[in-house]
A and B are shown apart, each in its own frame.
Chain A
Amino acid sequence: MIIGLDVGGTHTDVVLIGDDKVLRRAKVLTIHSNLFDCVREGLEQVTRDIPPHKIHRVVLSTTLTTNAITEGKLAQTGMIVSAGPGIDPLFFSTGSHYYCVSGSIDHRGREIQPIDRSEIERIASRFKAAGIRRVGVVSKFSVRNPKHEFEMAKILGDSFENIILGHRVSGNLNFPRRIATVYLNAAVYSIHKQFFDAVQDSLIKKGLNIPIFVLKADGGTMSLEASVDAPGQTILSGPAASVMGSLLFASDAVDSLVLDIGGTTTDMAVLVRGIPLLEPLGGEIGGYRTLIRSLRTESIGLGGDSAVRIVNGEIRIGPDRLGSAMAYGGPSPTPTDALFVLGKVIEGNVEASARGLQPIAERLGISLEDAAGRIFDDSCRAILTAAGKMTAAINSKPVYTVRELLLGYKVQPKEILVLGGPAPHFADRLAQLSGLHVSVVPQWDVANAIGAALARGTCEVALFADTERGTAIAPEEDFVLQIKKDFTRQNAIDLAFGLLRKKWLQVGASEESLPEMEVVEDLQFNMIRDFSTTGKNIRIKVQVKPGLLPGYGGIAGKLCDRR
């Protein structure tokens, strides 16, 4: 049996899944000030009277780190940044305790200027004096050569609780994002560790000594132990959980659009033949653009509870939410109230909804029903427009080879999967307006928890080989190899696959056998100096793509039956 738990903004959803069906489900109110109790309560509800040995894993998706970042509750973190020539690194400051130091590495990974030891030592003593426990060190082009980051960490010594190195957070090039990512990882380190230590303790006390996994932003799982060193990867796992939950019902023959219509927002994602798309570089959170591998999701401020008002003679829906719908005692009219007036929803105070919509109808000079109809239609249209923009943005992503430009795959969703409270009411109209097949994800209210439970491990390895310099490096994996001139592209791919296999086991993916590995980037350049070949520059990226555990396909059918 597997437990999936997703802490959402309003509810914490939990499911217990056995063989081929959802055995138990629970919903607990989320209390942001005490997430631990929510998690414990949720777990208790689904595990009651279940023999502990029957549960072989728990997957948790929480808003813990996400909230810490968006609410600015970040631990004091020291940052040391070595940039060399280029944009002034002060632009990327993460706040106080941010220091720019000398040292420079070029785009090939060659050292241009060394690190100044005394500079780092001076900063170290300032950190100590300020009581800083966590430090991030970042150098420009450290993914080509991590030497300076290692040197800085060594000089800092072991007088800090944790030092995060830039090249370990991602193999992608982007210095400002590397700085932000290192900072966030360091700044949520303690809050994440304390929380999960507490969860683990409480489970052990109850005799539930089962492996705990955490959902990542890329829709994959990682072991609790692995997450301690990379807590940043747990941000934005909420949207990822919903997307993973919808995968059970997505076609693998066509592209799909996933719409999670909530109270305040609608979250959108695109699946290409059943596979969720990833952000090209990494997710964005609280104004920080990061290198954290993330599913590509977008959110618009339009949901069932969005405030509806007239602005310049036009209906405006959202982006804010003033409270629940008037039908449920809320303060202002909402799209949900429109659904009441249209008779699509009945269990609530229809009169209150009508009262709320009446002034809008009057100002527009139309009947109450027409006003409700317009609000509803506008909502559906706004969601589809935003989804269209997202698809267009995905398709307009630049490519850098003639071949890709001419043959490039164009995403074209043929079906829509909707989840969320108002989902069933929106489905028909969305189908009419879009002309696409629209289906409501069965048991959508726990799809996120199911998604967390059934998510498989996913990860990526970037390998960079330069036969002229004689090095192959996979920065995130802490891997450097001396190579000879005859090192080939195939050698690089084999090496990358080997590292991926190792990483996949290390992050503690929970299933026994490694899923299919794929090459996502495969570039080789002859390096020519003075008209003769002096080496090869090889860039390989391999991954296990996001997906669900094998063997649970049958669960989809059973979920549909219960609908």
Chain B
Amino acid sequence: MLSANTKTGLVFFPAFDWAISPTHPEREERLLYTQDQVFEEGLLDIEGIIEFKPDLATVEDIQRVHFCVPDELRVITESHLVSAGGAKTIGIQVLEKNIERGFALVRPPGHHAMRVVHGARGFCNINIEAIMIEYLRQAYGIDRVAIVDTDCHHGDGTQDIYWHDPDTLFISLHQDGRTLYPGSGFLFETGGPTAAGTTINFPLPPRTSEEGFLYVLENGVLPLLEQFKPELVVNSAGQDNHYTDPITNMNFSAHGYAELTARLKPDIAVLEGGYSIQGALPYVNTGIILAMAGLDYSGIREPDYQPDKIRQGSDITRHIERVVDEALKVWNQGPEIRAQNRKKDKFAERDRTIFYDTDQIMETQHEAIRLCPECAGTLAIDSKTDGGRRIYAVHIPRKACPECRETGYKLYDSAEIKRYNHVFIQDRTTDQYFSRK
């Protein structure tokens, strides 16, 4: 009987009764053929591959990560609690050492969900990786985490949540934002003032193929992980870099995804996007599961796979080499920039607009972070939507110093409630969340 070399957990939750809308790419049918392929290959019978039933995430789990407006249950459906809960289940099983690695093959996805949630963007409502990671930090006391986002779309939600967190290394490989939603993820996006260099983007040109992805992995991602020394590596395993994906322009393959997984060796992988539901997902997922389990994946290939036809041109190769060089510079300059900024001991501010494509909401944010010599710094967000809703939210980071913590509560208490629909505070030092309205 076939048995796994690495004990691997799987939460499979295809949500066969949930869709954003009947013809939306994020619909009931999305994982149907993946299920068929996984079942027919007998993957769940392999000794050492264990399927778990997902737990439901709780409102408290969401409050550790997000400011949901007006509240958690009004921006999500039960399905989101299952997909976030599924990721959490895998995380728990890994940290309990019941499995060595795990893959949450769940939907709906989450990597476009930012810290403030007014609605859905990029098919995402809540960030399922962040909810899992913050739960694991709370329950198991882990500290340093690396997230490698291999979805074709820039993981702008995850980037936003960890923008100011120097203990979370966020790396994203994606199609260049000038050519694809959400239009971000450029090299100059390197993290907030106290966490500069812990957000690393690899914007890749359209038609990047296996060679390009593996080049970035070997020369960009793995060396960074080596230096960052995370306790946990999480892979946001979107599958829309595939050459058959209908909404992107890349040339990655099932074999490439399996190879990438085998080399990256993530502790936890979480499915994100991927909408070539017949031509890619069944094969990519089978490949990823086999690679996670340390089994031979060389026999996995799409019916129409022709490596020569999707090979990237030499101009693309050269472009990617430059991207990797630049990204490494960002990484290398990070410590110095962080140190400089932290000496300033004042508030740094920025303004930006965020578009919710799925729910058609335009949000404007004014953000202020305390440049603290001791910790990541308390963060305050003043957020308005074009629907006329306005909120004020204070985030006290997990390892906040007493002064930052005090500052956070002062900001919360002094926010004038008549100017806002809601005022929130997320105190990660005590794992508490309060709101006023």
Contacts and interface: CB of A to CB of B under 8 A. Distances in A.
Contacts of B96: none
B51 interface: yes
Contacts of A481: none
A59 B106 CA distance: 47
Given A400-B12, A405-B54, A537-B32, A107 B246 contact: no
B55 to A, nearest CB: 10
Interface string B74-97: 000111001000000000000000
Contact of B29 (A112, A402, A527): A527
B413 interface: no
B2 interface: yes
B256 to A, nearest CB: 15
B37 A107 contact: yes
Interface string B276-311: 001000110010001000011001111100000000
Interface stretch (B40-48, B126-134, B156-164, B194-202): B40-48
B14 interface: yes
B286 A86 contact: yes
A526 B78 contact: no
Interface centre among B11, B33, B52, B77, by most chain A C-beta atoms within 10 angstroms, is B33
Interface in B390-432: none
Contact of A400 (B1, B13, B41): B13
A406 B81 CA distance: 11
Given A104-B303, A405-B82, A537-B29, A531 B23 contact: yes
A86 B299 contact: yes
Interface stretch (A47-55, A123-131, A171-179): A171-179
B303 A402 contact: no
B367 interface: no
A205 interface: no
B29 A528 contact: yes
- Most chain B CB within 10 A, of A87, A172, A174, A530, is at A87
Interface in B1-43: 1-2, 11-18, 22-23, 27-29, 32-33, 35-37, 39-42
Contacts of B27: 526, 528
Contacts of A400: 12-16, 35
A87 B45 contact: no
Interface stretch (A2-10, A307-315, A391-399): A391-399
Given A402-B17, A532-B23, A174 B290 contact: no
B278 to A, nearest CB: 7
The interface size bin for chain A is 35 or more
B437 interface: no
Contacts of A403: 17
A86 B300 contact: yes
Nearest to B296: A88
Given A106-B303, A526-B29, A86 B52 contact: no
B303 A112 contact: yes
Contacts of B178: none
Given A173-B36, A400-B14, A91 B2 contact: yes
A451 to B, nearest CB: 29
B411 to A, nearest CB: 38
A85 interface: yes
Contacts of B79: 402
Contacts of A287: 1
Contacts of A112: 303
A399 B303 CA distance: 29
A195 interface: no
A401 interface: yes
Residue with the greatest number of chain A CB neighbours at <10 A, chosen from B53, B300, B303: B303
Contacts of A141: 36, 40
A523 interface: yes
A140 B40 contact: yes
A389 interface: no
User: Which of B16, B79, B300 has the most chain A CB atoms closer than 10 A to its own CB?
Assistant: B16
Interface in A122-154: 140-141, 144
A217 B49 CA distance: 27
A310 to B, nearest CB: 31
A381 interface: no
Which of A86, A112, A177, A400: most chain B Cβ within 10 A?
A86
B290 A87 contact: yes
Nearest to B286: A86
A427 B345 CA distance: 74
A144 B11 CA distance: 25
A513 interface: no
A403 B78 CA distance: 9
B78 A528 contact: no
Nearest to A109: B36
26 contacts: A85-B300, A87-B299, A91-B2, A112-B303, A140-B40, A172-B39, A174-B39, A174-B42, A175-B42, A176-B41, A176-B42, A398-B11, A398-B54, A401-B15, A401-B18, A402-B15, A402-B79, A405-B13, A405-B82, A406-B78, A523-B16, A526-B23, A526-B29, A528-B22, A528-B27, A532-B23
Interface of A: 85-88, 91-92, 104, 106-108, 112, 140-141, 144, 172-177, 287, 289, 396-403, 405-406, 523, 525-528, 530-533, 537
Given A174-B42, A526-B29, 18 more contacts: A85-B283, A85-B300, A85-B303, A87-B2, A87-B299, A92-B2, A107-B36, A112-B303, A144-B36, A173-B40, A174-B39, A174-B40, A398-B12, A401-B15, A405-B53, A405-B56, A405-B82, A528-B29
Closest 10 CB pairs of A and B: A176-B42, A173-B39, A401-B17, A173-B40, A107-B36, A112-B303, A525-B29, A398-B53, A85-B301, A401-B16
